[in-house]
Structure 1
Amino acid sequence: MNFWYVPWFILPYLLLAFILVKQHKKSNRSNLFFKFIYWSFFYLFIYLGITEIQDKSYFFTIPVLFFVLFSWMYHREKARVLNGFLLNLFIASFGIYLLYNFLITQDVLVFALIFLVGVFVVLVGLFGFVGLMILFYWNALVVIKRESHSLANLLTLILAVVMTIWLIYDSFIAKMLPDWASILLSILPMMFFYFVFAFLNFLSASLLYQFNQPSYDQDFIIVLGAGLVQGTKVSPLLANRIHKAIDFYYQQRKYTRHWVKFIMSGGQGPDEKTAEAIAMKDYALQQGIPEDDILIETNSTTTLENMQYSKEIIDRADIKAPKVIFSSNNYHIFRAGIFARMAQLKAEGIGAKTAFYYLPNAFLREFIAIIAMKRKLHFTIISLLASVLLLLSIIAHFVS
């Protein structure tokens, strides 16, 4: 397509995007965000399809099919790691398709998209493996200064050390080993890259979940508990969860006047003097929430139990098709959504902000917990890959 035609596609797109924003001024930002994204890709695929069809080619259908598959799976169930894999698969196929489209059409808009993607890839390449390793060391130092020295807070340090060992091995030791030993020891980097691949899928799905905000017609807001300070006081982390729920409570009253009740969910830990739910209720009362709008659940000790016992309270309310959301920290809502599905509770999460320096450790901890939930599957896959490398190592030993 000639350059002269590009404005005729861009101007209607901008006009309709402006209309979309104006029509959804009072909608949740996330709903507007997803509608804007879908509209953008729909319009872009129309443009790319027209440019390609003029050259009697139809490869644009491949990324379109991946996008449709991702959208279908995402709207069926938002809290799935599979969504991250499908999103990454679509992005990869779309990037390859853009290169193909530009080769056959020489389109200026496609070139601009490739240029933007290329700049991002170059920046990532410059930062690279060593840069990421340095970032993890820096983050570990910050966390050690500000948080307790528990294993959960040292994950970035452990990962940085593992990356350092692998870098030394790959740069020096691997070159001195015989072929069979090199193949055998490649099991370790293979495991590392397998978990990197799994983490990218988890991270994509988890970040995507952050953009989801439920509509303002909820019946219940479950606030997930967390450890209390000195066994009685709400911690800053837990306070953020409560405030996120309170913000939604007032927003819903403002826009729809649909009444919603809190379910403060959290039992009493061995080092706590009172149940977390009771401390959370007292905190919410101090923030001006009416006592009649607060229910408590004091039996749970895990996130899964939070969902199970809260569901029992919701079921007793005898509301037909109740609409439910839950509030937790942003790094935790994806896994909490998985537990909600396991408890057969149809609920979506809203995430409270977390200190930026804390997020790398938090997401790594969530990833480890996700892996542990499917440990048999991951163990089987790694065992199969390791068996192949072991077989190749034996063959290389006898051949040499």
Structure 2
Amino acid sequence: MIFGIAAIVPALFFVVGVVRDRRRVRNAVWLGVTLLLLLLWLLFRAVETEGWPGVALGYGFVALLLGLGFVLPVALIANGVLVLRREGFGLANLLSLLAGLAIFGVVAAFGFLTARTGPVVDAVIGSLLVVAAYVAFLFVSLLLYSIVYGSLGRRTGFDAVVVLGAGLNGDRVPPLLASRLDRAIRVYEHGVGAGRPPLVVVSGGQGPDEDVSEAAAMRDYLVRRGVPDDRVLVEDRSTTTEQNLAYSARVLAEHGWQGRAVGVTNNFHVFRAAVTARRLRLRMQILGAPTAAYFLPSAFLREFAALLVQNKVGHTVACGLLVGLHLFLVL
């Protein structure tokens, strides 16, 4: 009962945070704490409940542990192999494979810990498990909140649409970038139907393996699909998400624009782009475009790593405090 009551507090912080600004990372943390407390409440209910409800809850937790410890890493490894075959070798494409192997490593470490090899070894392995638990908690929290963020807020009624760039194939728009542009076209067409055609800013510079800038290729894509040339503004200097947003806001300001803007990117990138927009103090929410299913695990892991790096000092301190508490209790 105490865990169920305790879950009310972070749930209230979560609701207030979402109402005040959906783009806060702390909203994801409050959501994760709420769900963790509810999970603990269900676990204790399973222990205390007699009859088939308690048995069902018990089997449910066993299935959850088996899924997290064995099914999930196998699926991640298989996905990693698929991504490498389709996208080629690269650190970003290795992430789901490495994550699957890491989960197996955590399971092995937990099994080794139960062998009781000595206080020092137990303390070291326990510290690694504490860090792994912290990272897993953050990942699940951010993943779930990314889904929540993408399902909230308005979808239409914007005066400007900023399309964040992605890599080209020479001078051609690949499917990942095309999905962003198609989402922007739908937002634009809705604005036309409402009598308020928005400006569309295409944002992206030219990479070393690209024949033209991303913005130029994106502009051509939009014009070929019916967006008037005079409604498309080009920002062709940016190379990062932060620059996409900051330089595009500057382009809009130079054209005297005032109104409600929205950024468009792929669904896996939505929350990090929103957090970046908030850090830049831009009054801009982000919409997501669909992504090929096989690409999502690696893409979400990459976004998670980028969010961790944005506040690496805070996460390092948090891990240090948790490890210190563990060592104090164990030694």
TM-score range, shorter chain: 0.7 to 0.9
* SS of the residue 1:376 aligns to: helix
* SS of the residue 1:228 aligns to: coil
**Would the aligned equivalents of 1:80 and 1:205 in 2 still touch at CA under 8 Å?**
no
Aligned residue pairs, count: 327
> What corresponds to 2:315 in structure 1?
378
> What corresponds to 2:161 in structure 1?
221
Are residue 177 (structure 1) and residue 177 (structure 2) matched? no
* SS of the residue 1:234 aligns to: coil
The CA deviation string for residues 223-264 of structure 1, in whole angstroms up to 9 with x for no partner, is 00111102x21111111110011112112333x222211000
Change (3 A) 1:143 1:299: same
Q: CA shift at 1:70, angstroms?
A: 1.7
Q: CA shift at 1:378, angstroms?
A: 1.0
Q: CA shift at 1:319, angstroms?
A: 4.1
Max radius of gyration: which structure? 1
- Aligned-CA RMSD value: 3.2
Q: CA shift at 1:165, angstroms?
A: 2.8
Q: Name the CA distance, whole Å, in 2 between partners of 1:134 and 1:175.
A: 25
Matches within 5 A, 1:180-195: 180-195=120-135
Letter in 1 for 2:208: P
> What corresponds to 2:230 in structure 1?
292
* SS of the residue 1:301 aligns to: coil
Q: Name the CA distance, whole Å, in 2 between partners of 1:382 and 1:65.
A: 23
**Would the aligned equivalents of 2:69 and 2:107 in 1 still touch at CA under 8 Å?**
no
Letter in 1 for 2:246: Q
Q: Name the CA distance, whole Å, in 2 between partners of 1:121 and 1:64.
A: 23
Change (3 A) 1:90 1:172: closer
Change (3 A) 1:365 1:299: same
Q: Name the CA distance, whole Å, in 1 between partners of 2:317 and 2:260.
A: 38
Matches within 5 A, 1:121-160: 123-160=63-100
Q: CA shift at 1:359, angstroms?
A: 0.8
Q: Name the CA distance, whole Å, in 2 between partners of 1:266 and 1:219.
A: 20
Q: CA shift at 1:120, angstroms?
A: 6.5
**Would the aligned equivalents of 2:7 and 2:34 in 1 still touch at CA under 8 Å?**
yes
The CA deviation string for residues 102-122 of structure 1, in whole angstroms up to 9 with x for no partner, is xxxxxxxxxx9x999889656
* SS of the residue 1:348 aligns to: strand
Q: CA shift at 1:94, angstroms?
A: 5.7
Are residue 73 (structure 1) and residue 10 (structure 2) matched? no
**Would the aligned equivalents of 2:180 and 2:265 in 1 still touch at CA under 8 Å?**
yes
* SS of the residue 2:285 aligns to: strand
Change (3 A) 1:375 1:273: same
Letter in 2 for 1:386: V
Are residue 352 (structure 1) and residue 289 (structure 2) matched? yes
Are residue 253 (structure 1) and residue 197 (structure 2) matched? no
* Of 27, 30, 33, the match for 1:89: 33
The CA deviation string for residues 307-357 of structure 1, in whole angstroms up to 9 with x for no partner, is 11111122233344x100011110001101111112221111111111111
Matches within 5 A, 1:210-289: 210-230=150-170, 232-254=171-193, 256-289=194-227
> What corresponds to 1:161 in structure 2?
101
* SS of the residue 2:234 aligns to: strand
> Unpaired segments of 5 or more residues in structure 1?
1-58, 102-111, 396-400
> What corresponds to 2:49 in structure 1?
none
Change (3 A) 1:343 1:162: same
| TM-score using structure 1 length | 0.73
**Would the aligned equivalents of 2:158 and 2:260 in 1 still touch at CA under 8 Å?**
yes
Letter in 1 for 2:299: A
Q: Name the CA distance, whole Å, in 1 between partners of 2:127 and 2:7.
A: 33
**Would the aligned equivalents of 1:70 and 1:86 in 2 still touch at CA under 8 Å?**
yes
**Would the aligned equivalents of 1:214 and 1:348 in 2 still touch at CA under 8 Å?**
no
Report % sequence identity: 31
* SS of the residue 2:147 aligns to: helix
**Would the aligned equivalents of 1:226 and 1:266 in 2 still touch at CA under 8 Å?**
yes
Change (3 A) 1:207 1:253: same
**Would the aligned equivalents of 1:143 and 1:358 in 2 still touch at CA under 8 Å?**
yes
Letter in 2 for 1:132: L
> What corresponds to 1:363 in structure 2?
300
**Would the aligned equivalents of 1:213 and 1:350 in 2 still touch at CA under 8 Å?**
no
* SS of the residue 2:201 aligns to: strand
**Would the aligned equivalents of 1:183 and 1:392 in 2 still touch at CA under 8 Å?**
no
* SS of the residue 2:268 aligns to: coil
Change (3 A) 1:100 1:164: closer
> What corresponds to 2:274 in structure 1?
337
Q: CA shift at 1:98, angstroms?
A: 8.6
Q: Name the CA distance, whole Å, in 2 between partners of 1:288 and 1:305.
A: 27
Q: Name the CA distance, whole Å, in 2 between partners of 1:65 and 1:173.
A: 34
Q: CA shift at 1:180, angstroms?
A: 2.3
